[in-house]
A and B are shown apart, each in its own frame.
Chain A
Amino acid sequence: MPDYADLAGRRFPAGTYTLPEYVCWLWSDAAQLPPVYEAHPALAHVVASYGMSVTVQDILDMMDAAPEGGVTFGEFGVEYHGALRAGATYECDAEVLEVERKRGRRAGVFDKLSFKVTIREKGSEAAVAVCTNAWIFPRANGEP
């Protein structure tokens, strides 16, 4: 069965993302919160996702998974060192921390992909936020 442990240390393409004010508004509206043109702290996830120039589909491809394969978030965390700002441009560095193959009572065999994204405002050395992600990839019979 394919082993994805070798992905540890792989860096995603670094990139930039400008957080549009309308996305801030849409996000708060979609979350059934009062819509505002300010950046909700949870948008660190969106900044990280786009800033590292990788889409959900790209990550699925890296793990040989399909959209209908039942991939889920396992864990997500953020350390904030500053506030996200609507309209600001962010640079993101990202790397795979590890891929672990596990077996759960409910989930069966799955791969847990952990990766970290550091978000900096463009032109700054200081991190605004550091995001840690863990995604779960079900593996029927241990196969992708």
Chain B
Amino acid sequence: MTATHEFHVGQRVAPFVIESVEPDRIKTVAAILQDPTPTHLDPAVTRARGMGENLQTQGALNMTWFVEAAMRFAGGADRLVSFNVRFLDNVFAGERFECTGTVTAIDAGAARAELELMATANGRPVLGGTAVIKT
């Protein structure tokens, strides 16, 4: 963990990386969410739709990694105040997911820092957004 509470504007958020998204985990998330979307279940459907050969992750799973990057940088779950994420593109099993960012603002009075975060899958932008953490 990057458990520093001394942040500064321009500081880089340490990358959070999933080296290879595992397909069976996507099926577990589908079961938890009761999400019937077939591109999370059957690679034949992603293939038929011209989306490639692998299962598509759920946005909730991608968002979990986005949050994890902010949490680790903040120093723990209890230091996360809020986040907003935009889903820019799909993530697929087998891809390398990376989320990083920078500190864009510090509010010393409120003891808050704002982060701009961006995530990629195999280098392709897939998530963008912000998070506010306690300083």
| A→B interface (CB under 8 Å) | 23, 26-27, 29-33, 40-42, 45-46, 49, 55-57, 67-68, 70-80, 83, 132
Task: Determine the residue in chain A with the shortest Cβ distance to B64.
Answer: A42
The contact string, 1 if C-beta is below 8 Å from chain A, for chain B 58-77, is 11110111011001000001
Give the complex CA separation of A6 and B8 in angstroms. Answer: 45
Asked if A67 and B37 sit within 8 Å, CB to CB, the answer is yes
Asked if A30 and B63 sit within 8 Å, CB to CB, the answer is no
* Residues of B within 8 A of A (CB-CB), count: 38
Between A and B, 11 residue pairs with Cβ closer than 8 Å are: A26-B32, A27-B32, A29-B28, A30-B29, A40-B77, A46-B32, A68-B45, A72-B90, A73-B58, A77-B85, A79-B81
Complex partner residue of A56 from B26, B37, B49, B129, CB under 8 angstroms: B37
Asked if B32 and A68 sit within 8 Å, CB to CB, the answer is no
Asked if A41 and B28 sit within 8 Å, CB to CB, the answer is no
Asked if B34 and A55 sit within 8 Å, CB to CB, the answer is yes
Task: Determine the residue in chain B with the shortest Cβ distance to A32.
Answer: B18
Given A30-B25, A31-B61, A74-B87, CB of A56 within 8 Å of CB of B36: yes
Asked if A76 and B81 sit within 8 Å, CB to CB, the answer is no
Number of A-B contacts (CB under 8 A): 96
Question: What chain A residues lie within 8 Å of B80 (beta carbons)?
Answer: 41, 80
| B→A interface (CB under 8 Å) | 18, 21-22, 25-26, 28-29, 32-38, 45, 49, 58-61, 63-65, 67-68, 71, 77-78, 80-87, 90, 129
Question: What chain A residues lie within 8 Å of B63 (beta carbons)?
Answer: 42, 45, 73, 76
Asked if A80 and B82 sit within 8 Å, CB to CB, the answer is yes
Asked if B32 and A32 sit within 8 Å, CB to CB, the answer is no
Give the complex CA separation of A79 and B63 in angstroms. Answer: 14
Question: What chain A residues lie within 8 Å of B49 (beta carbons)?
Answer: 70
Given A31-B25, A31-B65, A32-B18, CB of A76 within 8 Å of CB of B36: no
Complex partner residue of A73 from B29, B67, B87, CB under 8 angstroms: B87
Given A49-B33, A56-B35, A73-B60, CB of A42 within 8 Å of CB of B67: yes
Asked if A32 and B25 sit within 8 Å, CB to CB, the answer is yes
